[in-house]
């Protein structure tokens, strides 16, 4: 069930990322100049990549769990940045608020589900392993 849940959740960045890549700022229903459109298409490509990576991780969480953890951290960091925008500039349209729920709610919940499903001693955090995975000694 967890694999299915991750893949269903991954449809959000897959579809939104592809739409943003294809249509740029028009995807948001707003006009923009070339710089904003270019930047939005780039970020949409990253979003599409996150969806592909989540789909890939879901296929073998036992071996790809560390990658899944990093992906969740990146998504949550993006959600915190979005939340800072909400707090600093006001409430965005509903689709952006739903994205915020995905970034700070659904995605971390899926990660927690995975951690709990691992159970036992394996569920203990291993910061040294994460440090090595990130390129440390």
DSSP per-residue codes, 31-88: ---HHHHHHHHHHHHHHHHHHHHHHHHHHTHHHHHHHHHHHHHHHHHHHHHHHHHHHH
Residue span of the structural domain in which 111 resides: 2-133
Residues 6+ apart with CB under 8 A from 74: 50
Q: What is the pLDDT of residues 26-49, one digit of tens each?
A: 888 888 899 999 999 999 999 999
Task: Report, as an integer, the average pLDDT of 104-128.
Answer: 78
Confidence (pTM): 0.82
Structure-derived torsion over alpha carbons of residues 103, 108, 114, 119, reported in degrees to the nearest 10:
180
Q: What is the pLDDT at residue 50? A: 97
Coil, helix or strand for 91? Answer: coil
């Amino acid at each position: 069930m967890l694999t299915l849940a991750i893949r269903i959740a991954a449809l959000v960045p897959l579809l939104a990322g592809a739409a943003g890549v294809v249509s740029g700022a028009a995807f948001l229903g707003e006009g923009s100049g070339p710089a904003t459109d270019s930047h939005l298409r780039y970020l949409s490509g990253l979003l599409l990549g996150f969806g592909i990576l989540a789909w890939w991780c879901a296929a073998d969480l036992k071996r790809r769990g560390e990658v899944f953890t990093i992906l969740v951290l990146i998504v949550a960091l993006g959600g915190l940045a979005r939340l800072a925008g909400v707090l600093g500039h006001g409430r965005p349209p509903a689709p952006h608020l739903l994205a915020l729920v995905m970034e700070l709610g659904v995605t971390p919940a899926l990660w927690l589900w995975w951690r709990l499903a691992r159970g036992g001693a394996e569920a203990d955090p291993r910061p040294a392993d994460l440090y090595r995975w990130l390129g440390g000694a």
